[in-house]
Structure 1
Amino acid sequence: MKIKDAIDKIPGGLMLVPLFLGALCKTFIPWAPDYFAGFTKGMMTGVIPILAVWFFCMGASIKLNAAGTVLRKSGTIVLTKLLAAWAITIVAAMFIPAEGIQTGFFAGLSILAIVCAMDMTNGGLYASLMQTYGTKEEAGAFVLTSIESGPLMSMIILGASGAATFEPQIYVGAVLPFIIGFVLGNLDPKLREFFSPGGMLMIPFFAFALGNTIDLNTLISPLAFLGIFLAIMVIILTGIPLILADKYIGGGTGTAGLAASSTAGAAAANPVAIAAVAPQFTEVAKTATTLVAICVIVTSILVPILTGIWYKKFGKGKAEAKDVPLSSKAAAH
């Protein structure tokens, strides 16, 4: 059976297929991890340790002379995502009251839901897509996306300055495996050669574990259509600036920008966390959580597909053109 060939025909298939299988497990057999326990439970629920090993391997695969590219890509993606979310929030606040919209198709939509859906990129999803459609340096550009983690940036965008607790060691911990891998890979080329394949090998395992955090029943809740609409807006309103920034600032093809136009899984926890320190959001926190969860699911499905299509139409050709020797180009003229 040519299973791998079939998966490769699906845009982002190496990430998307295991993700969907994990979501099916979470939806129809949510008791499985506790029932089987042991290593099976670890594989189904071990998102964090699997991701840590994955990031370590990616760090080890990047050469020192590429560090500038990684930081440039990281900074471009993070700043563009945050600025886009900030601008969207400012505009939305002109039309949406603090208590959210109460009637019509948009009933339940609030500023809180918009901010939490817009401002956090799914770093694991982005990195896995760049492993398939980008370069090692682009894959490593997830390194600064940890700055977006937690409710801090959402609260800053909402204007709740001083209301959040910022613990620097959490952000250090998020990038430490990558940094250690990067250091070891550059101290010893043999270590880089040994660990580098792990970046690609870990993708389906991480995707399956991530899928086991997604309950597909969320898609049939009363807020499903609004959540799907919000997810599409996340991709459009953050994806367009990210594509432009990647092309004209990051020096890419736009593929990395589109790959970053998702909603992070951790974003679903932000509405409640923000409401705990900003009581004015208490009434909309539950609805916002549901909407953001739907955004996580929908963007996890759509972004890999759209990124694969974009790469085939715009990214792959440009990458191949860069590989053509200058002498060949001159001969063509």
Structure 2
Amino acid sequence: MRIKQSVERIPGGMMLVPLLLGALLHTLLPNLPTFFGSFTEGLFKGALPFIALNIFCLGTSIDFRVTPKILKKGGALIISKVGVAALAGLIAGKFIGDGMVMGGLSVLAIIVAMNDTNGGMYISLMNQFGKKEEIGATTIMALETGPFITMVTLGIAGISVFPWPYLVGAILPLLLGMIVGNLDSDIRSMFSKGNAMLIPFIGFALGSGIDLSKVYQAGLTGIVLGVLVVVVTGAACVIADKLTGGNGVAGIAAATTAGNAAAVPAVIAAANPKYAAVAPSATVVIASCVIVTAILVPILTAWWAKRVGRAEKKDNDDQVQVKFST
């Protein structure tokens, strides 16, 4: 049986399929974890430790030795996404506040959906349509992963303040991973593979806190929000890409929501209890965003790459003609 290949055909499937399985079990058999207890119960309720390990493993894959071009490109894309997310959160906060509106939309869901780029999809698209420095920008954009950037964005938007130990604690696993990964290539080789391995466990543990009978509207909201993520963050990233010498392809490729972004609301709620009520619906909204952006962005990236490719070819042909005529 080719279970892994079948799951990976679904956008964000390694996160979303286990999440759906966990939610289904929680909805139909809510007492199952406590019935078995022990390590089995730990699989249902171990989201935060799994997330911490995932962030550490990701950190080990980040190389300190990045070129200025990579730093410039990745930094521009991150700043544009975070800036747009903060602005959207600030505007939404005026109308929604700390709660949520019908359909499960919350400021937390909006900011998380816009903050975190699907690094796997970005690097896949850049390998096909991008340049070397655009591929390498993934190293910088990996810093978006986890709750730290969301906490910072909530602070920038003036929506929430987190004590400094929480902010340090949110990024510490990533920093530790980066340090040991750069000190020892064998450690990098061993732990960097764990990043992908932990994703299904995170998805299952998160799904185990979701009641499907209460979240169908949140899924529909996620579809709308997913389209807005592509349009709004895509426009900002295209501008940032062009300002740093690109043609906009990398900007569109960055306009996604990462599959592991669905893990962020639970961490934020653990750090600040006022988000506990909206975290489950935010998780489902973000999961829908993952699917929507994963479908739309590759199509738009390929279309834009083809369009700018024709334009660049025409410019080159015109330059050749001018050269021969002179």
Q: Same fold (TM over 0.5)?
A: yes
- 1:207 — aligned with what? 203
- How large is the RMSD of aligned CA atoms in angstroms? 4.7
Q: Deviations over 1:58-117 (max 9, x none)?
A: 222233313867865664444323332455467779xx8689xxxxxxx9479x956433
Amino acid at match of 1:20: L
Q: In structure 1, which of residues 219, 225, 241 is the aligned counterpart of residue 236 of structure 2? A: 241
Tell me how far 1:120 sits from its aligned partner. Answer: 2.4
C-alpha separation in 1, matches of 2:179 and 2:166 = 20
- 1:126 — aligned with what? 118
Unaligned runs of 5+ in 1: 100-106, 277-284, 319-333
Q: Deviations over 1:114-140 (max 9, x none)?
A: 643332248788356568767686266
Identity of aligned residues (%): 30
Q: In structure 2, which of residues 284, 289, 292 is the aligned counterpart of residue 299 of structure 1? A: 289
Q: Deviations over 1:305-328 (max 9, x none)?
A: 44565677778xx9xxxxxxxxxx
C-alpha separation in 2, matches of 1:32 and 1:62 = 39
Tell me how far 1:18 sits from its aligned partner. Answer: 2.2
Tell me how far 1:259 sits from its aligned partner. Answer: 2.6
| Contact 1:76–1:246, Cα closer than 8 Å, also in 2 | yes
C-alpha separation in 2, matches of 1:232 and 1:258 = 10
Greater CA deviation, 41-50 or 295-304? 295-304
Corresponding position: 1:168 with 2:164? yes
| Contact 2:230–2:256, Cα closer than 8 Å, also in 1 | no
C-alpha separation in 1, matches of 2:230 and 2:297 = 11
Q: Deviations over 1:37-65 (max 9, x none)?
A: 22222222222211222222222223331
Q: Deviations over 1:280-333 (max 9, x none)?
A: xxxxx98x7787455234214333444565677778xx9xxxxxxxxxxxxxxx
Corresponding position: 1:253 with 2:250? yes
* Structure 1 pair 293–47 and aligned structure 2 pair: CA distance change class (3 A): closer
Corresponding position: 1:116 with 2:100? no
* Structure 1 pair 172–314 and aligned structure 2 pair: CA distance change class (3 A): farther
C-alpha separation in 2, matches of 1:201 and 1:289 = 24
Tell me how far 1:224 sits from its aligned partner. Answer: 6.9
| Contact 2:60–2:178, Cα closer than 8 Å, also in 1 | yes
Amino acid at match of 2:190: F
Corresponding position: 1:178 with 2:170? no
Alignment: residue pair count: 293
| Contact 1:121–1:148, Cα closer than 8 Å, also in 2 | no
Tell me how far 1:242 sits from its aligned partner. Answer: 3.6
* Structure 1 pair 79–49 and aligned structure 2 pair: CA distance change class (3 A): same
- 1:5 — aligned with what? 5
Unaligned runs of 5+ in 2: 127-134, 309-326
Amino acid at match of 2:286: V
* Structure 1 pair 63–269 and aligned structure 2 pair: CA distance change class (3 A): closer
Tell me how far 1:19 sits from its aligned partner. Answer: 2.6
